[in-house]
Amino acid sequence: MAILEAQNLWKTFGRTAVLKNIDLTLEKGQALSIIGSSGSGKTTLLRCLNFLEQPDKGIIRVNGETLFDAADPSTQSEASIRKKRLHFGLVFQSFNLFPQYTALENVMLAPKLLAAEQPNFKAGKKEIYARIEAQAKELLNQMGLSSRMANYPHQLSGGQCQRVAIARALALHPDILCFDEPTSALDPELTGEVLRVIRELADQNTTMIIVTHEMAFARDVADHVIFMDEGVIVEQGDPEEVFENPREERTKQFLSRYKQG
């Protein structure tokens, strides 16, 4: 069964339709890359899938459950949206770490807040916090940051900050990890270290959506690629196929622009 299914998503800002009839499916354990020019609607699509933006039309299902249906107001209550967002982990271009917290504290913050909302929290607080700390340390280890846990964001490179942000997104055990241009704010020499950890996550069958302008990476890391232009999915398929033999003229033009740099 598909872990994520979107049907006929539409989103309009003012009079401009930014997403038009988007259908997509993501299987558990797969990585999907989304490519396309700036302004083609990639971020808006991610924001709609993550319930940060409400589509005007369409249906979103996670694990077979309808979490959003534009035609069914009972799926749109503010109260339920926070819970629905927990299905998704988000990593943005700009890290968004809290500057006053260490790397470790940044990773522990959301799990702690969430734990505090559970019944019986008070009685088990010590053990719960210990478990959250152990998990956060393990994630930071996995990101190659074992010696950096006590550092504040200003003491870390951009690549290290982004790896903290990835650990933070993983700390809530999302079903789907979403990246929106995770290396666009980084110097070229730091891009590789971030792409490397994303690739490792893909090798471990982490379910992911990756919006990126790194074409070689989009091709290598993903099981499936989508090319968007002006709010529509122009072409999608096996990355090898789409990059080697694009069927649509617009895809060809886009890819050849990239080859020229």
Ligand X SMILES: Nc1ncnc2c1ncn2[C@@H]1O[C@H](COP(=O)(O)OP(=O)(O)O)[C@@H](O)[C@H]1O
Rounded CA-CA distance 87/91 in Å is 14
C-alpha pair distances (Å), 38 with each of 35, 108, 228: 9, 34, 10
C-alpha pair distances (Å), 164 with each of 36, 125, 194: 27, 24, 10
Which of 42, 148 has the CB closer to ligand X? 42
Q: Which does 13 bind (CB under 5 to 8 A by kind): Mg ion, ligand X, none?
A: ligand X
Query: Which parts of 43-102 interact with Mg ion (CB under 5 A)?
Result: 43
Which of 18, 208 has the CB closer to ligand X? 18
Rounded CA-CA distance 36/255 in Å is 9
Binding mask 10-49 for Mg ion (x = CB under 5 A): --------------------------------xx------
Which of 36, 158 has the CB closer to ligand X? 36
Which of 18, 103 has the CB closer to ligand X? 18
Q: Residue 178 CB, nearest distance to ligand X (Å)?
A: 12
Taking alpha carbons only, the member of 180, 183, 178 closest to residue 214 is 183
Q: Which does 260 bind (CB under 5 to 8 A by kind): ligand X, Mg ion, none?
A: none
Helix (H) or strand (E) segment spanning residue 36 = strand 31-36
Q: Residue 53 CB, nearest distance to ligand X (Å)?
A: 8
Q: Which does 50 bind (CB under 5 to 8 A by kind): Mg ion, ligand X, none?
A: none
- Position 251 contacts Mg ion (CB under 5 A): no
Which of 43, 162 has the CB closer to Mg ion? 43
Which of 44, 162 has the CB closer to ligand X? 44
Q: Which does 33 bind (CB under 5 to 8 A by kind): ligand X, Mg ion, none?
A: none
Site for ligand X, rule CB under 6 A: 13, 18, 36, 38-44
Q: Residue 19 CB, nearest distance to ligand X (Å)?
A: 8
Q: Residue 51 CB, nearest distance to ligand X (Å)?
A: 15
What's the alpha-carbon Rg for the chain, to the nearest Å?
A: 19
Q: Residue 44 CB, nearest distance to ligand X (Å)?
A: 3
Taking phi first (over 0 means left), then psi (-120 to 50 degrees means alpha), and beta for anything else, what does residue 5 get? beta
3-state secondary structure of 246: coil
Tokens coding 120: 């019986």
Rounded CA-CA distance 160/144 in Å is 9
Q: Residue 7 CB, nearest distance to ligand X (Å)?
A: 19
Match 């559970």 to its residue by tokens. Answer: 118
Tokens coding 176: 């789907």
Q: Hey, which residues does 23 pair with through a beta bridge?
A: none
3-state secondary structure of 257: helix
Residues of this chain that bind Mg ion (CB under 5 A): 42-43
